[in-house]
């Protein structure tokens, strides 16, 4: 099928490349000329394992092209996906839908036949109705159906998530649009991927409800970790003990410095605002968001406590800056709040991340960026393991300890074992153990 993806960011680029790999003809449209030129040259704007190979392979095969010309990209498309950003709106926390509506207006003017217009961006309940109104207003003669098809991609595992999804949610009650969406996702049927058709508003809410629930699991186990520290229990054993219950499950029960990234922070906030607007506040989610914000600063206090109550004038090494491994995404990363809090307390920061340094430089100032983990910890008064990159899981602990001015390790991801650290003479602090 002929598919156009509006937006060549994280969701749009991964989705477009995967659709092309299914055999569809895909055009990715973006209004950033430099990004389009880089993509044509095979240079990825983001780090995602396997993405460069997927994009370049399908581009060479002629199934994936890139353009800044939306009208040309949309003209002959059977389905147009809107995959633009919906960041939190400054001032009130609602999702900023200006990019979605702007794209809808341009699409309406460019449509030439029956077109299925799909909102892939994460949008609040009722956005599809508004997109439909915008389309009609911009082009009363256009023939289209508006569908909701939320994404459930994990950064660092997005290609596998797209090709082997737990579910594909499609919100539409239009028979013709349903047929088009079924054909688009037909290559997944061999994997028995459940294609879940719902009403459009239901599909929009599924995305927010899923992210809010996962954020709740993370925040829950983080609070249990605090309780474990107070009573002398082990949060990893607690997580395993409850996670083996298949009603609960083990995923997202890893204690740490709080959630971040491009989805959970903004999506929980958008759900909170939507619920308030409709007079049905989601108190649990409100608490989750508040607790998560507080936790990041609390992790900085944990570091200070491990440094005998003061970091003033001390050099603190930070291993990992991105909000999770296998991505260069710094959006709402817990490392931002931890680094800034330590700087406020007078610490000097040296940091290393396998992929996130360039993005980190855009949000963190007065940080000395190192070239590898051992360069990072050399002469440091303490080391903080922030992100559980594979490169940090097998560190030479003896070398690490000798390189530091003081062998102090604050492991905010529970990568290492306390007894092993004690044997190696490392003053070790972890979370919930």
Taking the chain (433 residues) in runs of 10, the rounded mean pLDDT of each run is 96 98 97 96 96 97 97 94 92 88 95 92 95 94 94 95 95 97 92 87 97 98 98 98 97 97 94 96 98 96 98 98 97 97 98 97 97 97 98 95 97 97 96 97
In terms of Cα–Cα distance, which of 115, 214, 137, 129 is closest to 171?
A: 129
Taking CA atoms, 36 is separated from 42, 239, 338, in Å, by 10, 45, 35
pLDDT the model gives residue 192:
73
Its pTM stands at 0.93
pLDDT the model gives residue 194:
84
Specify burial of residue 279 (Cβ count, 10 A radius: 0-12, 13-18, 19+): exposed
pLDDT the model gives residue 189:
86
Would you please indicate which residues are annotated as catalytic (active-site) residues? 263
In terms of Cα–Cα distance, which of 92, 155, 86, 169 is closest to 123?
A: 86
pLDDT the model gives residue 397:
94
Cα 410 from chain centroid (whole Å): 25
Neighbours of 311 (CB within 10 A): 25
Residue whose structure tokens are 């949309």 = 74
Backbone angles phi, psi at 112, to 5 degrees: -120, -10
Backbone angles phi, psi at 25, to 5 degrees: -90, 115
In terms of Cα–Cα distance, which of 112, 413, 26, 94 is closest to 275?
A: 94
Q: Which domains, from first to last, does the chain contain?
A: 2-198 (3.40.50.720), 199-433 (3.40.50.720)
pLDDT the model gives residue 118:
98
Q: What is the pLDDT of residues 280-292, one digit of tens each?
A: 999 999 999 999 9
């Amino acid at each position: 099928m002929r598919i156009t993806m509006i937006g060549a960011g994280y969701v749009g680029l991964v989705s477009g490349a995967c659709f092309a790999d299914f055999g569809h003809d895909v055009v990715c449209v973006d209004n950033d000329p430099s990004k389009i030129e880089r993509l044509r040259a095979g240079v990825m704007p983001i780090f995602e394992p396997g993405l460069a190979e997927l994009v370049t392979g399908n581009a060479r095969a002629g199934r994936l092209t890139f353009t800044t010309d939306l009208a040309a990209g949309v003209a002959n498309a059977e389905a147009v996906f809107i995959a633009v950003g919906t960041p939190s709106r400054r001032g009130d926390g609602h999702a900023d839908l200006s990019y979605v509506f702007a794209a809808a207006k341009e699409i309406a003017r460019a449509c030439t036949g029956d077109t299925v217009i799909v909102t892939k961006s994460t949008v609040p309940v009722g956005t599809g109705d508004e997109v439909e109104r915008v389309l009609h207003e911009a082009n009363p003669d256009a023939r289209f159906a508006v569908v909701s098809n939320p994404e459930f991609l994990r950064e660092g595992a997005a290609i596998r998530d797209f090709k082997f999804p737990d579910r594909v949610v499609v919100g539409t009650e239009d028979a013709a649009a349903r047929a088009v969406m079924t054909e688009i996702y037909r290559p997944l049927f061999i994997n028995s991927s459940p294609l879940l058709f719902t009403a459009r508003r239901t599909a929009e809410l599924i995305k927010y409800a899923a992210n809010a629930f996962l954020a709740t699991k993370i925040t829950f186990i983080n609070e249990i970790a605090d309780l474990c520290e107070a009573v002398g229990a082990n949060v990893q054993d607690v997580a395993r003990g409850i996670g083996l219950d298949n009603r609960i499950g083990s995923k997202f029960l890893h204690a740490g410095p709080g959630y971040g990234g491009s989805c959970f922070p903004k999506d929980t906030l958008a759900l909170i605002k939507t619920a308030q607007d409709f007079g049905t506040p989601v108190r649990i989610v409100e608490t989750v968001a508040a607790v998560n914000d507080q936790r990041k600063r609390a992790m900085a206090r944990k570091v200070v406590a491990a440094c005998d109550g003061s970091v003033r004038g001390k050099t603190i090494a930070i291993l990992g800056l991105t909000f999770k491994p296998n991505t260069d995404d710094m959006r709402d990363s817990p490392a931002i709040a931890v680094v800034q809090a330590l700087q406020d307390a007078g610490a000097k920061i040296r940091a290393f991340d396998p992929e996130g340094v360039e993005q980190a430089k855009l949000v963190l100032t007065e940080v000395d960026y190192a070239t590898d983990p051992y360069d990072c910890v050399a002469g440091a008064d303490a080391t903080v393991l922030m992100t559980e990159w594979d490169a940090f899981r097998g560190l030479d602990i003896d070398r690490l300890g000798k390189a530091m001015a003081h062998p102090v390790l604050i492991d905010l991801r529970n990568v290492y074992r306390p007894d092993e650290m004690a044997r190696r003479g490392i003053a070790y602090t972890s979370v919930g153990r």
